[in-house]
Amino acid sequence: MTAHEIDYRIYGEEMQYVEIELDPQEGVIAESGSFMMMDDGIKMETIFGDGSQKDTGFLGKILGAGKRILTGESLFMTAFYNTLSGKRNVSFASPYPGKIIPIDLTEYDGKFICQKDAFLCAAKGVSVGIEFSKKLGRGLFGGEGFIMQKLEGDGMGFVHAGGTVSKKVLQQGEVLRVDTGCIVGFTKTVNYDIEFVGGIKNTVFGGEGLFFAKLEGPGDVYVQSLPFSRLAGRVLASLPRGGNSKGEGSVLGSLGNILDGDNRF
């Protein structure tokens, strides 16, 4: 194996975190801001590149970092190493309510494709790159645009999904239609495309968007019930206008604002 062989344990239900057990000199890479806690003896190092152990030189590291900018991630990643003789633990937390999904890349022929903000952490040696869409429709209307993330190697990776997670195992030719924002990730054998909803009433009044993601097997697909964009949209929609929360949650509602002298709608 080229990636470090790490052990792990996932804690919690709605707000999970993953604890990685590192043997001496083992390491794990993570997105900036996902760190939770670590034992004494863990060395933290900011790295420039995609996190793999390949000796690509300075230019290769520049290209690896540039790819991360295209996915909207930070230019740098953080690596954590066990510098002592015994086992040590380091933990990483979910960014919002949902589930942490362990991905063993050896079970998926060394590659897993996921949405841009799903990656949480991975064993040192796993490459975190980008996956370009080869289809115009998928790039323009797929929710994730032309670019998705890909994890490559032979180690463990961990991705995060919002809400409840459903794993669908698609057989050859089996089709699953999903809201574009609800996709967490899928194996490289899955064919991913965009499909128009169709119908004037569905298009104008459906409220579910104009396009579905069409996933065709064989392969595994992970689907989330609460995309962060949907959660953020609901939070913004519920904020009182002008920062005034009078009448919020009461029986009177907007009428309460009128009685309080606030007639804005």
pLDDT tens for each residue of 208-261: 556 788 899 999 999 999 887 777 777 777 777 655 554 444 444 554 454 444
- Give how many domains the chain has, as a whole number: 1
249 located within any domain:
no
Judged by DSSP in three states, 192 sits in strand
106 located within any domain:
yes
Tokens of 223: 């689907």
List 40's β-bridge partners, or say none.
Answer: none
Number of Cβ atoms within 10 Å of the Cβ of 115: 23
250 located within any domain:
no
Per-residue pLDDT of 165-196, as tens digits, reads 999 999 999 999 998 888 999 999 999 888 77
- Residue 231's nearest CA partner among 94, 133, 122 is 94
pLDDT band at residue 23 using 50, 70 and 90 as cut-offs: very high
Domain of 38: which CATH number? 3.60.160.10
Mean pLDDT score, 131-150: 60
Cα 162 from Cα 151, distance rounded (Å): 19
- The reported pTM is 0.77
Q: Which of 7-16, 39-48, 148-157, 234-243 has the lowest mean pLDDT?
A: 234-243
257 located within any domain:
no
Per-position b or e across 75-111, b if 16+ CB within 10 A of its CB: eebbebbbeeeeebbbbbbbeebbbbbebebeebeeb
